[in-house]
Every structure is written in C-alpha cells, then in structure tokens.
Chain A
C-alpha cells in the first residue's frame, strides 16, 4: 500500500498530445475486442495492457490481478485532427479575437489595458468577443479580418466577400489548429488562459485520442454466455473503424469530397463519444435504439458521477416500508413489523453482568415466532472479529461458547430507540427518535398525531427506520431528537404535534355543550387513558351516578392547569358573552377542570394546541406527551361513542332553501345583466385607476361572489351542528364552510389568474354563447352545487379553473423546493457560538445576535422571555 499523500496544489489545464502519448501504455489500432477463443486482441480495445477485468488474467502493464489493477490508458492516433466539443465556445472566441495571419489579439496594448486594467491592478475584466469589432484590421500586421461563423455543434467557417456576394469558407479542424498554434503565450493571458504552458489552445483540437482503461468500461457476460460491451467501447469501436477507413482512403489518394465526408464522420463519432446530448447533433444510438451513455452523460445530472456516486450516500441498519395509523400507540412509539425486527440488529457487548441474558438471546436464535416472544440474535462476534452465524442447528453450541468480550447482535425488541424519517426531510422534525413496538403485519405503525411533523398520510406513504448502533448514538437520539423533545416547532414556537381530523371532531363532540354519562359510559371513554381514579360524580339522579362530558375531559388535564381562551368555533362577537356563549366557545379551565367551552383545534390541534403549549411550559415535555397520548385515545373513543359519518344526503337541503338559493342566484344574474346594460349604454363610471371594462369585471365578480356566499349562508341555516361537515368545519377538524357552500349551495365563479374565464373562441368562451356576451354563465359562473350537478358548459369551466390549480401547485412545489435547497446549502454548518453570535465554521460572523434578539422560539413565549399571560392566568385563575 502506498502511503497517503497530502495534496499540495491542483493544476487545471488541457491534456497535450505529448502527455496523452506519454500516459498511454499501448497504441490501439484494431476495432475488434476479443478473438474467437474469448481472448483480447493485442492492440485491440480490450488489450491486456489497458488493465484486466476477467478474473484469472494478469495485467500486462502492472502484472496485477483484476481486483488490484487500476487500469491504464491507451491512445488512438487520429488520421486528421478533430475538434473537442467541450471547447467549441473557447475556439470560437479565440478565432474571433485573434488575427487570421499573425495570431495576435486584434487589439492594441492600450485597448487591452482599458478592459483588463494595469499590470499591478489585475482586477479588471477578461477580454471577450464583444471587445473586438467584427471584420476589423489587425493592429499588428494590418491584415483584413473575416467574420467567423459558428454552426453547432462543431462547424466553423469564414465569410469571404467575393464579387459582392458573401461566401462561406469552411475551416477544417487542421486550419483552426494552425491558427491556434500561432497565438503567442502572452496574448492568451488577457483572454483568461492564465497558464498557457499547461493549456495551449491548439490542444483543444485533438490529434490523438486517449483510450480509457477497460476497468472503466467493463464488458458484461450475459446469461447466454455472450459478451455485451459497454457503451464507451461501442463508441470507441466506431471511432477506430472510421479512423482506419480514413487513413486507407487518405493513403490511396481518395478524392477531396470523400476525405471531407470521412473527416466529418470522424468528427461526429468523437463528438458523440464526448457528449451524446449536444445541440444540433443527432445522438448516437445503440442497436436497440437507446441513446448511448457516453462520457458526459456519465458525469452529468442527478444519477451522474458527482451527484449520484460521489455525494450520494447509503446506509446500513435501515429499513423502509409503508406506514399505517394506530391510535393505540403512544406518539413516542413506532410499530415495527416482526419481519423487520428480526432482521435489524443491535450489537451488545458481553460482560459478566449480562452474559446469561445474552446467552439466552443467542439460544433464541434467528427466528422470533411471534411478537410476544423474547428477541433472538442473528450473529455473535468473537473477540477476534470472526462472525458466527446463528442457525437452527448450532444455537446451543454457540451460546455455550459465549464469554465476556464477545458481541451478540440481537434483534430489535420493544423499547429500543430507532430513528424514523419521511422524505422530503425539510425540517429537523422530519427525523425523530421513537421507541420500538414489535407488531404483526407488514407496515410501520404510528400514532396519527405525529403525522404533521412528518407531513405523512396513509395513502401509501413509506417511511424509513434507522437503528443507532452505539450507546452514544442512542443517548443522543433519546435526549435530542425523541418525539417528546420535538413537540414544539422552532418555526413558530408552538406545538406541531397534536390532534388531527378525527381527534378534533371527537373531542369536539365530547366536550360540546353539556352531556351526562353513566359510569360505564364514562369508563368506556376513558378506558385507554392513563387515569388512576375517577373524580366524584357530577350529579346523582335516582341513585345513578353521572359524570358530565367536561368532567370526562378534565380527567386527562394536569391538576393545576388554569387557562382562558376562545375556541376555534368563536365568532369574535363584539361583546363576548363569556361563559354564556351560545356556541360554547369560551374555554375556561380552572384548577385542571374544564368549566366551560368546547375543546377543538385551537385547544389540542397540531399547529395550534393551546392546552398542549401551556402544559409544555408549565409541566414539561413529558407531561405534554402523556396528555397528547391520552387525548388521542379519549377522542377516538369519543368519536366512536356516537359514531361519525358523512354521506351524500348530508348535503341535502329542504325545498325552502332551494327556493331561496334559486332566488338569490336569479337576482345576482339580473344584477349582472343590469350592470352590463349600464356599461353598454356608456353610463358606467370607472373606478379610480381602472378602465371601464375593468370596473365592470370587478363589479360582476363582486356581485357573483356575494351571491355565492349568500347561498352558503342559506345552506348553513339549514345544516346545523348535527351535520358532520358543519361539525368538522366548525371544530377545525377538516374543511371549511366554503367547501360546504360549494357542495350544497353553489360552486361560484371559476377563475383563471383571478379573472373570469375569457379565453376560447373568437369573442366567446364556447360556441354555446353569443359573441361578445358578458353575462355570468358565459364566463364561468357555476350556479349549481356539486350535489346538484353541473351542466356541460359549467363542467367545462370547472375543468379550466381546476387545471390552473393543478399547474400552480406543480410549479410552486418544484420552485420552492429548489429555493429551499439553495437556502439550506448556504446556511448549513452555521452554529450559534457561546457569545450568541451565529458563525460559520471558519468563525466568520453571520448574525451578531441569533435572530437579532438571541431568542430560541421554542423556549420563549412568542418572543417574550416570560409568558406573562400564562403566569397571570395560573395565579389569578382568571383571564389575563
């Protein structure tokens, strides 16, 4: 093994023909690869000097075996020079800025200094094509310059004026190379070639082509014993064939036309060998029609060498499967399928203290028959690092050999710490540490309350699990990234974990207004919570004990909690009626007892969760996690107590409402027509800064918007809290009153870019309308509801409006994703130093005080160091 070396400097330059020949171990002249016996041809593309890929053979250059030989370059002598596609830009620039006869830059030293700056102040620009006027006269030799045309991918030509006509003269790569050779070294420096000794411009025109070692283009042997060559080898075969033919024709003195054709063909093959996706060049294809993957394609893009192979990382001790919900788990836990738990292991060092336990684990073997069985192990590791596989036959023998100093790789078992992750990992809560719970089934199970931080749902989402292998890793996982420590989001300082969907609906149904439960009912609701005893019954009637719904909820609250706030269902009345609120939206908790108000999204929901927030501040993370666990269990029981469903007939209204809705829509339509009439009569007064048309459009939109809202109100009057959709909208569980309006009342105006739909045929949206018609239905107003059904024109307009939404989300996600990526790349590795400054790893200051106020949002009360409102509420037990 060579000793590691420190890199002193890196030199960037072009490979000169001399260097290519020097590093070459073999000149390649035959296009064939293997002979009939499967042995490589000497001087063929698979020459044994270029390295070996077949086991058993030895490299002729370094005499090493296939696994050790790194491979060696060969070379092909090209019959005529060809252009390297990667440098066409540079070639074009050099042709345009240098003289065609003397090779000097077409500028006087004074002109150069103007752009580049003086000798000692080299901070100026580089010379560019724009600095040289076209077709000027060389200031050095006085030669008239010609215009250089460049045609993609690799054709250069000079424009000569002959008899008043412009004629293009093609420049061959040999001509170009001759011109490049003439450019003196000093003139290259202001052009941006700072080290002409390592990057002479004529080296961009290839006269000799390096042949990469076989190790970077290995052939694979198919199942039927046939050899299949790498794409690069195919391309090199093409190049050698044409090169050979070119040489033969040249020696035989073939006509100029044929030579030119062959030259162009050779250029094409070398071009596609470098980059098979150049503009203006048909990609070279495999026999099957698939475009070949050549040099540039290996490097470029997401799966290329850089992003795919070098910065790409994969890990062991990880697993991935579909997720599904289980409200009976704690948010701290994750349900792991037995099959996964039997495969993923944790190494445990054997000591005198745990030897008996680990021997038993080894005896349990590699198969755990059911989730309740104790965990087993797959391997044991001896002190000499030998791994012994545990299998059915050797369990006892291996177990008896175990001594302190050995390591047992035991299976996962309940209570182990694992990391759980869902992509895209956009914030730190995308990876959290959970406790394992081994379960039957094939999916990872998680409490639906932890969906928001992962942004997960159960429509087929998959998640990853990682098993920390060391004590340190497990300690860090538990202390820093466990679910419990991540309830508060650093984004807004509030709880990101909390009730969603059914939790909110359920807890709303439970706590709304006043209900009384008998003992068995109350116990049914509280069965899965951690309650230890029931409070005294709220009332006793005819010898039967009753507990109120608010008492049932209060059981899971911490004892000394005092809070006052408005629920989601609060309508923000001018004068709050407090406890007497008819919506029961005034929440008041006194010494851990819910006195009044309905618990809903504001109280326990993810992103809002006022109660959760207060418990964290006053009782700590652990108590808050327990509260969330109890809350999810209680709410699911509560929603099951009455049952909760939504069907098509929940959108039905009565005859009266339908009549009213029709009336409203008819009036709106008439109003629109009336305004159009005013406009057509020229009587419409434009609003400031708007044209008359814009004013009319705004008025129409306003009238129709109002009409839609009115239908919603009419529908809302009929549908009360008994309606599931209303309940979900009011409690904040899902959906809004607008959704309900559109289902039962009227869908309303469809818009594209905030305006009514105007595009389509000449002066009309559809042939169903008269030209120039401005009425509501001709421009995308849908007066039906989803329940009632749309007519064909309405359906079409709806599709137009819906499409805009889809396009918007598609564009937005990709753009914001890229913005986020750039931001994260710029901010990664920053840290808050002990003096409160935000610094880079180099100690450079980014912010003089973290967030300008030096405050951690998760440890402050909305920016204030002290939560005054919370303290006042808990001491006065009154609203602050």
Chain B
C-alpha cells in the first residue's frame, strides 16, 4: 500500500480528466482557437501527475462554482520551463 497523497481525493481539489483527441478537436472548433490559446497547466502540477497527463494533453477540470453550480474549464499541459 502506498502512502502517497492523492490530491484528487481532497475535497478542495476539483476533478481533472484527460480529454480524448476527438473531444479536444471539438473543443478547439467550438471556441475557434488553437491549443496555444488555452489556459496552461504545468506537467508537474500535482493533480496533473495523478491523472497521468503529459505535455500537449488537454485536461478538463470540473469545478463546483459559486455562481454557476458546476463549471468546466480546459487546460493545456505544458512542460515547466526551467529558469
């Protein structure tokens, strides 16, 4: 049994999931954007590491929102640039 902390199980951490290629292309068409115009998240982000996403993947984040109840957001995984 691993004692590693799974951040996704924490109450305050929203759900993260990797999007399939079809979903990504559908997303890009709806907003008429390229992946570069998506918000970014670093590949070593704890939540990204847990779901096993890698650079150039797009992840979907489902949050509980004060205003809308449930809000979806999408992020492009990028490599953390070293200084």
In the complex the two chains form, is B82's CB within 8 Å of A853's CB? no
Q: Mark A531-549, 1 if CB is under 8 A from B, else 0.
A: 0000000000000000000
Q: Please provide the chain A residues from 99 to 130 with a CB less than 8 Å away from any CB of chain B in the complex.
A: 117, 123-126
Instruction: Count how many pairs of residues, one from A and one from B, have CB atoms less than 8 Å apart in the complex.
Output: 48
**Is the CB of A574 closer than 8 A to any CB of chain B?**
no
- Residues on the A chain within 8 Å of B31, using CB: 835, 837, 845, 848
- Residues on the A chain within 8 Å of B39, using CB: 844-846
Within the complex, the shortest CB–CB distance from A664 to chain B, in Å, comes to 44
**Is the CB of A855 closer than 8 A to any CB of chain B?**
yes
Pick the residue among A117, A837, A842, A848 that contacts B82 (CB under 8 A): A117
Q: Mark B44-78, 1 if CB is under 8 A from A, else 0.
A: 00000000000000000001011110011110000
- Residues on the A chain within 8 Å of B81, using CB: 123
CA distance A837 to B63 in the complex (A): 17
CA distance A839 to B37 in the complex (A): 9
Pick the residue among A123, A845, A846, A853 that contacts B65 (CB under 8 A): A853
CA distance A854 to B72 in the complex (A): 13
Within the complex, the shortest CB–CB distance from B69 to chain A, in Å, comes to 8
In the complex the two chains form, is A844's CB within 8 Å of B82's CB? no
In the complex the two chains form, is A852's CB within 8 Å of B65's CB? yes
- Residues on the B chain within 8 Å of A124, using CB: 82
| Chain B CB within 10 Å, residue with most, of A835, A839, A843 | A843
| Chain B CB within 10 Å, residue with most, of A843, A847, A848 | A848
A117-B82, A123-B82, A837-B31 given; A843·B37 CB < 8 A: yes
CA distance A760 to B72 in the complex (A): 56
In the complex the two chains form, is A845's CB within 8 Å of B38's CB? yes
Q: Please provide the chain A residues from 830 to 859 with a CB less than 8 Å away from any CB of chain B in the complex.
A: 835, 837, 839, 842-849, 851-855
Pick the residue among B66, B67, B72, B83 that contacts A848 (CB under 8 A): B72
In the complex the two chains form, is B67's CB within 8 Å of A855's CB? yes
- Residues on the A chain within 8 Å of B73, using CB: 847-848
CA distance A117 to B81 in the complex (A): 13
CA distance A38 to B53 in the complex (A): 76
- Residues on the A chain within 8 Å of B79, using CB: 123
In the complex the two chains form, is B83's CB within 8 Å of A851's CB? no
- Residues on the A chain within 8 Å of B26, using CB: none
Within the complex, the shortest CB–CB distance from A443 to chain B, in Å, comes to 43
**Is the CB of B13 closer than 8 A to any CB of chain A?**
no
- Residues on the B chain within 8 Å of A837, using CB: 31
Q: Please provide the chain A residues from 258 to 292 with a CB less than 8 Å away from any CB of chain B in the complex.
A: none
B30 (CB) vs chain A CBs: closest residue: A835
In the complex the two chains form, is A843's CB within 8 Å of B33's CB? yes
CA distance A842 to B83 in the complex (A): 24
Within the complex, the shortest CB–CB distance from B41 to chain A, in Å, comes to 13
**Is the CB of A863 closer than 8 A to any CB of chain B?**
yes
Within the complex, the shortest CB–CB distance from B81 to chain A, in Å, comes to 6
| Chain A CB within 10 Å, residue with most, of B38, B67, B72, B79 | B67
- Residues on the A chain within 8 Å of B33, using CB: 843, 845
| Chain B CB within 10 Å, residue with most, of A837, A844, A849, A852 | A852
Within the complex, the shortest CB–CB distance from B51 to chain A, in Å, comes to 19
In the complex the two chains form, is A125's CB within 8 Å of B82's CB? yes
A117-B82, A123-B82, A125-B83 given; A844·B37 CB < 8 A: yes
CA distance A596 to B39 in the complex (A): 54
CA distance A618 to B56 in the complex (A): 50
- Residues on the A chain within 8 Å of B68, using CB: 849, 851-854
Q: Please provide the chain B residues from 17 to 49 with a CB less than 8 Å away from any CB of chain A in the complex.
A: 31-33, 36-39
CA distance A123 to B78 in the complex (A): 13
CA distance A502 to B66 in the complex (A): 37
B36 (CB) vs chain A CBs: closest residue: A844
A843 (CB) vs chain B CBs: closest residue: B37
B81 (CB) vs chain A CBs: closest residue: A123
A835-B31, A843-B33, A843-B37 given; A849·B71 CB < 8 A: yes
Interface of A is mostly: loop
Pick the residue among B32, B36, B67, B72 that contacts A851 (CB under 8 A): B67
- Residues on the B chain within 8 Å of A126, using CB: 83
CA distance A839 to B31 in the complex (A): 11
CA distance A863 to B67 in the complex (A): 7
- Residues on the B chain within 8 Å of A835, using CB: 31-32
CA distance A533 to B3 in the complex (A): 80
- Residues on the B chain within 8 Å of A855, using CB: 67
In the complex the two chains form, is A853's CB within 8 Å of B67's CB? yes
B79 (CB) vs chain A CBs: closest residue: A123
- Residues on the B chain within 8 Å of A843, using CB: 33, 37
A855 (CB) vs chain B CBs: closest residue: B67
Within the complex, the shortest CB–CB distance from A124 to chain B, in Å, comes to 5
B74 (CB) vs chain A CBs: closest residue: A848
Within the complex, the shortest CB–CB distance from A786 to chain B, in Å, comes to 42
- Residues on the A chain within 8 Å of B65, using CB: 852-853
In the complex the two chains form, is A845's CB within 8 Å of B37's CB? yes
Within the complex, the shortest CB–CB distance from B46 to chain A, in Å, comes to 21
CA distance A843 to B38 in the complex (A): 9
CA distance A630 to B67 in the complex (A): 36
Q: Mark A489-509, 1 if CB is under 8 A from B, else 0.
A: 000000000000000000000
- Residues on the A chain within 8 Å of B83, using CB: 125-126
Within the complex, the shortest CB–CB distance from A829 to chain B, in Å, comes to 15
A857 (CB) vs chain B CBs: closest residue: B67
B27 (CB) vs chain A CBs: closest residue: A848
B73 (CB) vs chain A CBs: closest residue: A848
CA distance A851 to B71 in the complex (A): 10
- Residues on the A chain within 8 Å of B36, using CB: 844
A844 (CB) vs chain B CBs: closest residue: B37
Within the complex, the shortest CB–CB distance from B38 to chain A, in Å, comes to 6
Within the complex, the shortest CB–CB distance from B59 to chain A, in Å, comes to 13
CA distance A837 to B28 in the complex (A): 13
A126 (CB) vs chain B CBs: closest residue: B83
CA distance A517 to B65 in the complex (A): 53
- Residues on the B chain within 8 Å of A848, using CB: 31, 71-74
- Residues on the B chain within 8 Å of A847, using CB: 73
A121 (CB) vs chain B CBs: closest residue: B82
Within the complex, the shortest CB–CB distance from A142 to chain B, in Å, comes to 32
- Residues on the B chain within 8 Å of A863, using CB: 67
- Residues on the B chain within 8 Å of A853, using CB: 65, 67-68, 71
- Residues on the B chain within 8 Å of A849, using CB: 68, 71
Q: Mark A653-671, 1 if CB is under 8 A from B, else 0.
A: 0000000000000000000
CA distance A436 to B39 in the complex (A): 46
- Residues on the B chain within 8 Å of A117, using CB: 82
- Residues on the B chain within 8 Å of A125, using CB: 82-83
A847 (CB) vs chain B CBs: closest residue: B73
CA distance A854 to B66 in the complex (A): 13
- Residues on the B chain within 8 Å of A842, using CB: 37
B34 (CB) vs chain A CBs: closest residue: A843
CA distance A839 to B38 in the complex (A): 10
Q: Please provide the chain A residues from 445 to 483 with a CB less than 8 Å away from any CB of chain B in the complex.
A: none
CA distance A232 to B39 in the complex (A): 49
CA distance A845 to B33 in the complex (A): 9
B63 (CB) vs chain A CBs: closest residue: A852
A843-B37, A846-B39 given; A852·B82 CB < 8 A: no
CA distance A275 to B32 in the complex (A): 51
Within the complex, the shortest CB–CB distance from B82 to chain A, in Å, comes to 4
23 A–B pairs (Cβ distance < 8 Å), ordered by A: A123-B79, A123-B81, A125-B82, A125-B83, A126-B83, A835-B32, A837-B31, A842-B37, A843-B33, A844-B37, A845-B31, A845-B33, A845-B37, A848-B74, A849-B68, A849-B71, A851-B67, A851-B68, A852-B65, A852-B67, A852-B71, A853-B65, A853-B68
* Smallest CB-CB A-B distances: 7 pairs: A853-B68, A852-B71, A853-B67, A852-B68, A852-B65, A123-B82, A844-B37
B binding-site residues for A, Cβ under 8 Å: 31-33, 36-39, 63, 65-68, 71-74, 79, 81-83
Q: A851-B67, A852-B65 are in contact. List 20 more A-B contacts (CB 8 A).
A: A123-B79, A125-B82, A125-B83, A126-B83, A837-B31, A844-B36, A844-B37, A844-B39, A845-B38, A845-B39, A848-B72, A849-B71, A851-B68, A852-B66, A852-B67, A852-B68, A853-B65, A853-B67, A854-B68, A855-B67
